Amino acid sequence: MDRARRKALLQAYKLAFPPMGIYAVRNLRSGRMLIGQSANTTGALNRHRTQLRLGMHRIAQLQNDWRELGEEAFAFEVLQLQEERAEATFDYAAEREAWLDAWRERMPPEDAYL
């Protein structure tokens, strides 16, 4: 790849709207889930996966289930993505927080990793 093409691709990547929204780490055997929100869902899911693989996740029950069941028993999913808005002052974080509350309200407490 030539230098100009590489530079153009890098610039396009930097200007792209990030994958913001709601994500879940789902235990496929029990149905329990960790639901969160992020301005970068890809990065958040990668962080959770890495912490679990290293045995360093902050949620002890999730880490214990990971140790017992293995990686193949978990799914890392994006549940809802935000769309880019034309308004420069749109509050993406507030919208994600409202969405997160709505997702958590739909989930029975016994199914949540907290």
C-alpha to C-alpha distances, 79 to 34, 43, 82, 99, 100, nearest whole angstrom: 12, 15, 10, 10, 10
Q: What is the model's pTM? A: 0.85
pLDDT tens-digit map of 76-92 = 999 999 999 989 899 99
pLDDT per residue as tens digits for the range 30-72: 999 999 999 999 999 999 999 999 999 999 999 999 999 999 9
| Residues in Cβ contact with 64 at an 8 Å cutoff, skipping those fewer than 6 apart | none
13 lies in a domain? no
Domain count within the chain:
1
Asked if the structure places residue 10 within a domain, the reply is no
**Could you list the residue range(s) of the whole structural domain that residue 26 is in?**
18-111
